[in-house]
């Protein structure tokens, strides 16, 4: 597989994809741009292009749909922050995203899929060294920005499988069961043998063979999209004989370190659990709305972007829903006990918390500043 050297993005590509001047490197993958700033090691750009071709090079229809939907893959330098990627620059709150993520999926509003060069080239200090972030985040793009165009039935079929997995008790207490999107992306990682296992967010399933035995229905869907070929992910440092990595010297690689200015997530978590904390001014505390008012509540149409941090300080798993413009409840995800979720939203949007039996627990209204929605045992409706 021939991967060309990255070059400055041509005018036609810059215009078609409305690329920011931030990007100085570009490789074409059948119409899908792989881009990076001048700071990024060119080997990381080539590795990203190679991995994308390994995953879906046989699915030209998906690659075409991604390109038509304005998707690009952005590689972050080891010393660049998530919100320095132009398409991610208005994510809120920035202090969370810059410490939480070294890669994100794409949306119509933010069409860049991303990951860090430290993960692609296996630098020392990579916080995600036991998994490949590109495989996970690009799986989200394949689902939401590719397959939803190529096969409009895909998301419905995925939803059916996800709900069946929940009913069967599969993936309990794992990241995979938080939403159908994560069910797909985590499954994709295991399909390519590049997932974590047996930690606080994962069970034992980290390979294709284990996935086939554990969740055959998901395995069948993954086979439909990716095929059941021999290729599995292995780290770049074990593949320096390949042409696109020729000359790459792992021993001369840089070391990744989190910026000392960023808050540790452990400290952030502890602040979120403290009812009296405002995170040193990082958030405001959102008041619970009267549950009896739910039939009359709907989200407003304000286009001011903001975020809600849902902190589940109860002893039980909960679910959260967006109450849309027509008062319909849209399921967004599950939140395990003693964990939090940072949810992008808009000023005036209504969010509903339920227990696993579907009982309404709390209602919160998003405000212009990032808000904390704290649910604790002893709150009204929470046992």
66-70, 134-138, 188-192, 257-261, range with the lowest pLDDT: 257-261
When pLDDT is averaged across residues 173-184 and rounded to a whole number, the result is: 94
When pLDDT is averaged across residues 30-58 and rounded to a whole number, the result is: 98
82-115 pLDDT tens trace: 999 999 999 989 989 999 899 999 999 999 999 9
Cα–chain-centroid distance for residue 339? 17
Kindly indicate whether the domain formed by 265-376 is annotated with CATH number 3.40.50.2300.
no
- Report the distance separating Cα 375 and Cα 358, nearest Å: 16
- Would you say the CATH fold of 265-376 matches that of 11-252? no
What are the structure tokens assigned to 301, written together?
Answer: 């149409």
**Model pLDDT, residue 265:** 80
Predicted TM-score (pTM) of this structure: 0.85
Kindly indicate whether the domain formed by 11-252 is annotated with CATH number 3.40.50.
no
311-321 pLDDT tens trace: 999 999 999 99
Average pLDDT, the chain: 95
Q: How many residues does the chain have?
A: 383
What are the structure tokens assigned to 300, written together?
Answer: 């407003």
**Model pLDDT, residue 382:** 55
**Would you kindly state where each structural domain of the chain is located, as residue ranges?**
11-252, 265-376
> Which residues are CB-neighbours of 25 under 8 A, at least 6 positions away?
6, 7, 8, 9, 35, 36, 37, 38, 40, 42, 45
- Report the distance separating Cα 95 and Cα 147, nearest Å: 32
């Amino acid at each position: 597989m021939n991967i060309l050297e990255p070059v400055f993005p041509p005018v036609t590509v810059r215009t078609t994809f409305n690329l920011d001047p931030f990007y100085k490197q570009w490789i074409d993958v059948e119409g899908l741009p792989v881009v990076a700033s001048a700071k990024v090691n060119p080997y990381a750009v080539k590795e990203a292009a190679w991995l994308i071709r390994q995953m879906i090079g046989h699915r030209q229809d998906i690659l075409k749909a991604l390109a038509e939907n304005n998707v690009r893959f952005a590689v972050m330098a080891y010393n660049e922050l998530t919100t320095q990627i132009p398409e991610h620059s208005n994510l809120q709150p920035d202090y969370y995203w810059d410490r939480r993520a070294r890669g994100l999926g794409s949306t119509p509003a933010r069409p860049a899929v991303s990951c860090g060069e430290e993960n692609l080239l296996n630098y020392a200090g990579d916080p995600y060294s036991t998994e490949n972030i590109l495989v996970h985040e690009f799986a989200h793009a394949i689902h939401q920005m590719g397959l939803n165009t190529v096969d409009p039935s895909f998301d419905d079929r995925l939803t059916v499988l996800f709900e069946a997995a929940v009913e069967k008790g599969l993936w309990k207490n794992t990241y995979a069961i938080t939403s159908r999107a994560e069910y797909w992306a985590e499954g994709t990682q295991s399909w390519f043998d590049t997932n974590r296992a047996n930690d606080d967010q994962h069970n034992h399933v980290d390979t294709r063979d284990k996935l086939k035995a554990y969740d055959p229905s998901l395995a069948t869907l993954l086979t439909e999209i990716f095929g059941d070929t021999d290729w599995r992910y292995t780290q770049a440092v074990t593949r320096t004989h390949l042409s696109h990595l020729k000359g790459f010297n792992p021993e001369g690689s840089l070391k990744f370190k989190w910026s000392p200015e960023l808050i540790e997530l452990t400290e952030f978590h502890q602040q979120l659990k403290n009812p009296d904390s405002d995170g040193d001014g990082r958030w405001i505390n959102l008041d619970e709305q009267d549950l009896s008012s739910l039939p009359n509540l709907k989200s407003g149409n304000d286009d001011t972007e903001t975020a809600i941090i849902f902190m589940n300080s109860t002893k039980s798993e909960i679910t959260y829903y967006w109450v849309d413009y027509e008062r319909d409840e849209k399921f967004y995800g599950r939140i395990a006990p003693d964990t939090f979720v940072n949810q992008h939203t808009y000023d005036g949007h209504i969010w509903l918390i339920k227990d696993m039996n579907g009982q309404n627990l709390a209602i919160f209204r998003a405000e212009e500043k990032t808000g904390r929605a704290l649910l604790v045992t002893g709150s009204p409706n929470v046992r």
